[in-house]
């Protein structure tokens, strides 16, 4: 029997196709219509989304996207593409095909799975680029893949990697990136590890995301030999009036100078590559808030992005889960 032809599908969140109000509205519409993302009764959310959110939010979000867009396009898109290219190069000798997909926007999960089918791939590893599992992200990737595969007569062998929040290679790579940044720029009084927030209710319903974030942060702090007073975990990107995971990143940054902490470093170990939430919210808006509150120095430490170290981590993860 001939060996099975294997494909790897790396999946990230996605981005508007261009930094325009119309493109942002299309992207947000697809994103916010996902029932995994917003856990409200559908009729109620339909009214809120179409009468209030989509008419108003795209213009504000467009201004934020415009700050981070560059000649290469959306950082999330091109950094994910370059990361996939490095992984493809590393796996080429094993005859493993690699493609990147976006949960929202292009290239879609469905189109990339169809490309694998056309190429004769009969074994697919799906790796959502979310180190910590969440029903709002990881499970949504599974939903999209399953929705496409439900239409196929011949289902390929599927491996779905649900998380890698305590993978030793991932933890070491993040810790090393922090060390390298400190070597070049100096170390500040407090290291904040900021993760994307979620409604607190989801934890009560069984979502392990909060626990995964705590474990990731603690493992990185241990690798760096940090004392308790030298680091803390925070959560960013709160949306709406519901209680979200705490402590809130922005509130913490505004409070720290009052407690005598005037210099901070901040890293986002839940983001595989830099995107709107890191480059605009954390690196720009939250920095301004911290300095305005009395802080004197603020450094954002970039994500692993398309670094060789990041590619090595994911290659090892894919091969070890094979």
Average pLDDT, the chain: 96
pLDDT, position 2: 63
Whether the predicted pLDDT of 149 surpasses 60: yes
Residue 93's pLDDT is what?
92
pLDDT reading at 318 higher than 70: yes
Residues making up the binding site for Fe(2+): 196, 277
Sorting pLDDT into bands at 50, 70 and 90, what band is 239?
A: confident
- Please check the confidence at residue 4 and state whether its pLDDT lies above 90: no
At 1, is the pLDDT very low, low, confident or very high (cuts 50, 70, 90)?
Answer: low
The annotated binding site is made up of 196, 277
Residue 179: its pLDDT value, please?
98
Looking at residue 241, its pLDDT comes to: 77
Average confidence (pLDDT) over 157-177: 98
Q: Does the N-terminal peptide bond of residue 256 adopt cis geometry, omega within 30 degrees of 0?
A: no
Written as six digits, the tokens of 164 are 């890698």
pLDDT at 175: 98
CA distances from 277 to 42, 92, 268, 303 (A): 26, 33, 9, 11
CATH topology (fold) of 168-301: Rossmann fold (3.40.50)
Tokens 């991932």 sit on residue = 170
Query: How far, CA to CA in Å, does 7 sit from each of 73, 79, 84, 137?
Result: 26, 20, 12, 21
pLDDT value at 155 more than 80 = yes
pLDDT at 321 > cutoff 60: no
pTM score: 0.96
Residues 6+ apart with CB under 8 A from 287: 298, 300
230 phi, psi to nearest 5 deg: -95, -10
User: How far is 169 from 307, CA to CA, in rounded Å?
Assistant: 14
* Residue linked to tokens 């981590």: 313
pLDDT per residue as tens digits for the range 244-301: 999 999 999 999 999 999 999 999 999 999 999 999 999 999 999 999 999 999 999 9
Please say if the pLDDT value at position 322 is more than 80. no
Q: Taking residues 58-84, what's their average pLDDT?
A: 96
């Amino acid at each position: 029997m001939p060996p099975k032809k294997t494909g790897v599908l790396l999946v990230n969140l996605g981005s508007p196709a261009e930094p325009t109000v119309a493109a942002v509205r299309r992207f947000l519409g697809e994103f916010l219509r996902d029932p995994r993302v917003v856990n409200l009764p559908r009729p109620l959310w339909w009214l809120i989304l179409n009468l209030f959110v989509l008419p108003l939010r795209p213009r504000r979000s467009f201004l934020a996207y415009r700050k981070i867009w560059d000649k290469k396009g959306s950082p999330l898109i091109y950094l994910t593409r370059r990361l996939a290219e490095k992984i493809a190069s590393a796996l080429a000798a094993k005859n493993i095909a690699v493609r990147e997909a976006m949960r929202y926007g292009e290239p879609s999960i469905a189109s990339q799975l169809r490309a694998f089918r056309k190429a004769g791939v009969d074994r697919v590893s799906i790796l959502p680029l979310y180190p910590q599992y969440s029903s709002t992200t990881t499970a949504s990737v599974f939903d999209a893949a399953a929705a496409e595969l439900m239409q196929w007569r011949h289902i390929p062998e599927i491996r779905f990697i649900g998380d890698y929040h305590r993978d030793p290679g991932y933890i070491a790579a993040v810790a090393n990136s922090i060390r390298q940044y400190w070597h070049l720029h100096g170390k500040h009084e407090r290291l904040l590890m900021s993760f994307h927030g979620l409604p607190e209710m989801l934890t009560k319903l069984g979502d392990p995301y909060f626990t995964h974030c705590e474990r990731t942060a603690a493992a990185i702090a241990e690798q760096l030999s940090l004392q308790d007073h030298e680091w803390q975990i925070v959560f960013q990107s709160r949306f709406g009036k519901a209680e979200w995971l705490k402590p809130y990143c922005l509130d913490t940054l505004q409070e720290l100078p009052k407690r005598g902490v005037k210099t901070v470093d901040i890293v986002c170990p839940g983001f595989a590559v830099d995107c709107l939430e890191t480059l605009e919210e954390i690196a720009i808006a939250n920095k301004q808030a911290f300095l305005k509150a009395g802080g004197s120095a603020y450094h954002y430490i970039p994500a692993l992005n398309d670094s060789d170290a990041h590619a090595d981590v994911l290659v090892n993860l894919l091969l070890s889960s094979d």
